[in-house]
Structure 1
Amino acid sequence: MCADQLAGIGDEAAASLPDQIAAITALGWPGIELRTVDGVALADLDSSRFQRVRRAVAAAGLRVVCLDSRIGNWSRPITAPPADDLRELDVLADRCAALGTRYIRVMSYLSGGLDESEWRSRVLDRIALLADRAARHGVVLLHENCSGWAGSDPDRMMRLVEAGGPCLRLLFDVGNGIEHGYDSFGVLERVLPHVEHVHVKDAVGAPGRAEYVLPGEGHARVHDCLRLLLDRGYSGAFSLEPHLVTRPHEGRTATDPGPFLSAGRRLEHLLRAAPTGVA
């Protein structure tokens, strides 16, 4: 494990940017992933507030590994028009350039009541449209295995990669399988060559009733996933998203960075204990 690969989603630790930065630097990690500041999505910050974000991150010496968008997430079904997605992509692409990253996290849309065939067709068309726009901006969209048409099915993930071309790669969250009802390790084995970014969380429970726990203490086979990634030469970020306090889709935000810091130390332990060779 290379220490340079460690990062965390800032608002999982705290709402304010100074507290987000303080949590990441307390862990001694070099990377931060940005999603919201004081509860405001990064794309919705006005230019002056964004410039303050840029200066603060640079002053802390942190590397921005990814920007998390709302494109395709639980709040935007595929039946919604593409205007909001395109606007957010344009804004975040400019902010990628300012922050020195090329990655934007996306998802693949809830159905909005459409049947599977129409849902699939619209998602693939929308992703192709977005990937073309991303190519013009020089950024890469990272599809997360979460809610959406391709969220839990590796075959659908591969279809998405085909539709998006070189500007659509995969973000694999090792803990999402508990909430969405699949074996994360089995899916990761199938899609690993296309994975360029990793989120780390763990959970127990069942779909719709996941309870999040420290990495390695749940049923998501986090250790096995990390070991597989390292064994296959994965060189991207391991970005901590423990969900112990923060749950964006539930409107829950962190007020105490303690759980995030505990999860970070546990992630470090798991990576140190992940020898090559997967059983």
Structure 2
Amino acid sequence: MSAEPLRRTGIGDEAAPDLPGQLAAIRRLGWQEIELRTVDGVWLADLAPDRLRLDGIEVVCLASRIGNWSRPISTPLAADLAELDRLIEHCHRLDCRYVRIMSYPNDGLPESSWRRRVIDRTRVLAKLAESAGIVLLHENCSGWAGSSAANMLQLLSEVDSPALKLLFDTGNGISAGYDAYQVLTQIVEHVAHVHVKDALAGPVYTVPGAGEARVADCLRLLLEHGYTGSLSLEPHLSLVPHESLRTTGDQAESFHQAGLALETLLHNEMSGRAATR
């Protein structure tokens, strides 16, 4: 059994708005990777490349606004293509393979038209990603495909590209009203990246393992299926980006405590697996 079964990382702006603070939070946990979303409140696609000095920390994924809560299906595709072009440049400079996307909130269309537009758009984006040598990760969050495992699998099937895989977030089911663990059982073979958060109904966000998202069960299932990607901490304890919410607590400390809780859960799961061998 490997002593380091899965790489651990975190979305930096959950720990601090500025990049030095984000990197310090990752190092404090003893981790070596970071996932980037915003720096000083500016999304990655809007940042100049010289703003991103990582000082030896590897970048595992870049978050985009493509298909997220701010861009319904009526948004011109040109906005997403321009954003992806800029993120591809960042990926090449940072030696990063993954870009996170979603699949567009509806804007009054019939479900069939919404579905078709999402699939068509994602196919165009995936072709651009494939030609650039990167992979788009669709998250179980905003948009048509984020609402069910069946939709996620249909998106993968119809786009049919090696440049499109799934990102699974353990806590998104709490706010969306579905059992994320049950979704994971259906999509686990296609998951290339994992966000870790936990929450009670409301949602009221907690450290991993203290809520109702079945985080430990999700980790166990991923390990059983040979998952080898990263676990990326996104605790939402001090920052909820789509609600523009920042709490008054110590952002870096809450991130650190969430990271320690994730380490404990993962250690327990790996110890349990070792004991049954």
Which AA in structure 1 matches 2:79?
Answer: D
**Residue 20 of structure 2 is aligned with which of 18, 21, 33?**
18
Residue 196 of structure 1 corresponds to 192
> Does structure 1 conserve the Cα–Cα contact (< 8 Å) formed by 2:62 and 2:99?
yes
Q: The residue matched to 1:177 in structure 2 has which SS? A: helix
Within 2, Cα distance between the matches of 1:150 and 1:262? Answer: 32
Provide TM-score, normalisation by structure 2.
0.93
Is 1:169 paired with 2:168?
Answer: no
Report 1:1-279 matches (<5 A): 2=4, 5-46=7-48, 50-53=49-52, 56-57=53-54, 59=55, 61-164=56-159, 165-205=161-201, 209-253=202-246, 256-274=251-269, 275-276=272-273
Within 2, Cα distance between the matches of 1:35 and 1:52? Answer: 13
Q: The residue matched to 1:216 in structure 2 has which SS? A: coil
Within 1, Cα distance between the matches of 2:65 and 2:168? Answer: 17
After the TM superposition, list the runs of 4 or more consecutive aligned residues in structure 1 that deviate by more than 6 angstroms. none
Within 2, Cα distance between the matches of 1:163 and 1:127? Answer: 10
Q: The residue matched to 2:273 in structure 1 has which SS? A: coil
Within 2, Cα distance between the matches of 1:246 and 1:163? Answer: 35
Greater shift in the superposed pair: 2-11 or 119-128: 2-11
Deviation for aligned residue 1:271: 0.2
Output one character per residue of 1:81-133: Cα deviation in whole Å (capped at 9) or x when no partner: 10110000010011101111110000001011111011001001011111011
Within 2, Cα distance between the matches of 1:2 and 1:175? Answer: 23
> Does structure 1 conserve the Cα–Cα contact (< 8 Å) formed by 2:14 and 2:251?
no
Within 1, Cα distance between the matches of 2:273 and 2:175? Answer: 28
Within 2, Cα distance between the matches of 1:276 and 1:190? Answer: 22
> Does structure 1 conserve the Cα–Cα contact (< 8 Å) formed by 2:6 and 2:228?
no
Within 1, Cα distance between the matches of 2:237 and 2:123? Answer: 34
Within 2, Cα distance between the matches of 1:18 and 1:123? Answer: 37
Greater shift in the superposed pair: 155-164 or 12-21: 155-164
Provide TM-score, normalisation by structure 1.
0.93
Deviation for aligned residue 1:253: 4.1
Which structure 1 residue ranges, 5 or more long, are not aligned? none
> Does structure 2 conserve the Cα–Cα contact (< 8 Å) formed by 1:14 and 1:253?
no
Output one character per residue of 1:141-168: Cα deviation in whole Å (capped at 9) or x when no partner: 0000011101120110011112332111
CA RMSD of aligned residues (A): 1.4
Within 1, Cα distance between the matches of 2:243 and 2:172? Answer: 16
Percentage identity across paired residues of the two chains? 55
Within 1, Cα distance between the matches of 2:192 and 2:254? Answer: 26
Within 1, Cα distance between the matches of 2:5 and 2:183? Answer: 26
